[in-house]
Structure 1
Amino acid sequence: MPDVYPKLKVAAVQAACVFIDREKSTARACDLIREAGRQGVQVIVFPEGFIPSHPNWFHHHVATSPKANAFSLELFKNAVEIPGRETALLGAAAKDAGAYVIMGICEKLPGTLGTMFNTQVYIGPDGTVIGKHQKTMPTVGERIVHTVGYGDTFGVFPTKFGPMSSLICGENGNALAIFALAAQHTRVHAMSWPPYVGPQARPLRGIVELKSRAFATMANSYVVSACGALDEHTIESLDLSPEHKARLSDPLYTGGSIIVAPDGEIIAGPLDASEGILYADCDIEQMVRQKMSTDYAGHYNRPDIFELRVNISESELQDRADLRCSNARKRPWPGWTDCI
């Protein structure tokens, strides 16, 4: 009997979170997960920073201003710990839906103060946290509140239909990251995007389509791109100038969620500025047909010419070993040493 490759249904959620409100944004996410689950999907992708918000206020307020600092403080107070109450609620929703969920969050490490990551957390169909990806380089104003991620959270993660991957916003244009994920044989790639980009940038929907189709054709994989949406509550909460408010009220500059096949064909979307959920059926066998001609992670490459090194080690801020001791043993928690 020949091999049979899986088919699956995927979803890209385009929705507005509840501005810097962890509890209400989590509840909204759970409702949307269950809604998508009723359509029989196996993968559900959410926008960047959906819980509790993406720090777009730096496009409108000076980073050191009282207004921006007040937003940033509230962002930290509403940031998500992994594991925590929010991941437990998301897990229950994912289990009800029977789907993998890729959720954009603002993450803080348990028990710490002041440092946040721009993260995608992965929830399995059994409701457990199966991994996460921390954005390796925050973009523009994100650098005021988000630190960098490291290689220990970069790469594919296993699913019942094969390797899956994800990246956040601008990372999806990083050629080295794209090749590294292609070399790990990703089959479905999740892209998380904010509701909009800075006032001087081109409309988000054009960026999303370009990078989604490029990734699909370079990695010969399916791409599910989920963009945030804006509601009146968020626009009013940002305390915008008339010029910036008019721009964000222009539907041209928001939306753009899209699902793309391995040959670069758009199979769902793009969505306009309104909220909604995109659905598409994916046949992994199509990847075989594409890779037969141009498998950049296989026969259509030259490893004797091109070579990529990926550092997947975790960065440590300090090593608390007591170098004065000739014989030290660790106890009773990592980093603690005692001389014997």
Structure 2
Amino acid sequence: MEFPKFKAATVQTSPVFLDVEKTVDKAVSIITEAASNGAKLIAFPEVFVAGYPYWNWIMTPVQGSKWYEELYRNSVDVSGPDMQKIYDAAKEFDIHIVIGINERGESYGEIYNTNLIIDNLGNLIGKHRKLVPTWAEKLTWTSGDGSSLKVYKTDIGPIGTLACGENTNTLARFTLLSLGELIHVANYISLPVAPPDYDMAEAIKIRAAAHSFEGKLFTVVSCSTISKEIMQRLKPDVPNVEELLTRKNSAFSGFIGPNGTTIGTPLIDDEGIVYAEIDLAKCIQPKQMHDILGHYNRFDIFDLRVNVAPTSKIRFVDGFNNLGG
């Protein structure tokens, strides 16, 4: 049996705000750099293409309405031309990619917070739609469903992903573990408008460590930053935007090993790319003590049921009220 070893990269940076083409070009540039340094997997932040709806937190819903429309115009169809450069880069540089996007739905105004899983042949092998938009995010995103709660087999190992706050969802995480996840990509956004006593960077680290320790796997964390360009775009509507969107310890990106400890030195707030060597054989020994998928569980007592059926918006029933006509 083979246990893959490979070099992984994770990114901490901001998108080119609400500009799909320039953000995709930035992503390709970063992919090129990471691949040149030997990376076979790269993780990008939540909704990296092409931006997070910060206005939900610092404006009223009425004030944010025009920004919602602009975000919709800069959402993407995963099978459309906007993302092709990234798929092509995955193939050209022989690298697996997990990247967050604003995915355009079928209805005007329908946007999903989606993570794409792209293999090293340039194939879009999966997409995960955030199950529950967090707090003010409900003003923007439609909820995903269980059909996207999957783990994807790749040349470097089985990959699963969750976006931001849903990494606190114990049942979602256990579902991925039960599907054989050994590489977990958790991506986030910087959120300085959290309560004053909330250390966002530490909270991200705690979530990643919990999942890695419980599942005995590797967690790759990628978090975005808030650029001056983003703040300048929002400043006409929120004059004190710098005060609201600037706070230390708001972003954490790095790697957590199967024992729950940090691998190398993570990035906190600063932009850049972090690398780590991943050896999936290291997932074996820790399971001798706690294997919650095997000997360290009681499935005769606990039974988790997961609905993986896609949500249906409508059902047509032939002859439903046909009273003898």
Given the two structures, how large is their TM-score scaled by the length of structure 2?
0.94
* Residues 4 and 122 of structure 1: CA distance in aligned 2, closer, same or farther (over 3 Å): closer
The amino acid across from 1:297 in the alignment is: L
Unaligned runs of 5+ in 2: none
* Residues 222 and 107 of structure 1: CA distance in aligned 2, closer, same or farther (over 3 Å): same
* Residues 199 and 244 of structure 1: CA distance in aligned 2, closer, same or farther (over 3 Å): farther
Distance in 1 (alpha carbons) for counterparts of 2:219 and 2:85: 26
The residue aligned with 1:257 is 253
Deviations 1:109-137 (A, max 9, x none): 3x642101000011111111111000000
The residue aligned with 2:275 is 279
Distance in 2 (alpha carbons) for counterparts of 1:175 and 1:209: 16
Matches within 5 A, 1:179-258: 179-200=174-195, 202-239=198-235, 241=238, 244-250=241-247, 252-258=248-254
The residue aligned with 2:89 is 93
CA contact (8 A) 1:99 1:125 kept: yes
The amino acid across from 2:32 in the alignment is: R
Tell me by how many angstroms 1:321 deviates.
4.7
Runs of 4 or more, structure 1, over 4 Å off, are 240-244
Deviations 1:207-257 (A, max 9, x none): 11110101100111100000001211011112275655125333x143211
1:303 paired residue among 289, 296, 299: 299
The residue aligned with 1:176 is 171
Q: Secondary structure at the match of 1:311?
A: coil
CA contact (8 A) 1:36 1:97 kept: no
The amino acid across from 2:154 in the alignment is: T
Deviations 1:60-83 (A, max 9, x none): 101122xx1111100000101011
Identical columns (%): 31
CA contact (8 A) 1:45 1:190 kept: yes
Tell me by how many angstroms 1:185 deviates.
1.9
* Residues 75 and 295 of structure 1: CA distance in aligned 2, closer, same or farther (over 3 Å): same
CA contact (8 A) 2:102 2:113 kept: yes
Tell me by how many angstroms 1:53 deviates.
0.4
Unaligned runs of 5+ in 1: 327-340
Distance in 2 (alpha carbons) for counterparts of 1:6 and 1:172: 25
CA contact (8 A) 2:98 2:118 kept: yes
Distance in 2 (alpha carbons) for counterparts of 1:270 and 1:101: 19
1:33 paired residue among 28, 31, 39: 31
Distance in 1 (alpha carbons) for counterparts of 2:147 and 2:222: 24
The residue aligned with 1:8 is 6
Matched, 1:134 2:134: no
Given the two structures, how large is their TM-score scaled by the length of structure 1?
0.90
CA contact (8 A) 1:49 1:119 kept: yes
Distance in 2 (alpha carbons) for counterparts of 1:137 and 1:130: 22
Distance in 2 (alpha carbons) for counterparts of 1:155 and 1:63: 33
Q: Secondary structure at the match of 2:136?
A: helix
Alignment length (residue pairs): 320
The residue aligned with 2:141 is 146
Deviations 1:169-222 (A, max 9, x none): 011011111211111121100001012253426132111111010110011110
CA contact (8 A) 1:15 1:228 kept: yes
CA contact (8 A) 1:230 1:254 kept: no
The residue aligned with 1:64 is 62
Q: Secondary structure at the match of 2:28?
A: helix
* Residues 253 and 71 of structure 1: CA distance in aligned 2, closer, same or farther (over 3 Å): farther
Tell me by how many angstroms 1:325 deviates.
11
CA contact (8 A) 1:203 1:253 kept: yes
Tell me by how many angstroms 1:168 deviates.
0.3
The residue aligned with 1:17 is 15
CA contact (8 A) 1:91 1:123 kept: yes
Distance in 1 (alpha carbons) for counterparts of 2:87 and 2:242: 36
CA contact (8 A) 2:189 2:251 kept: no
Distance in 1 (alpha carbons) for counterparts of 2:17 and 2:2: 45
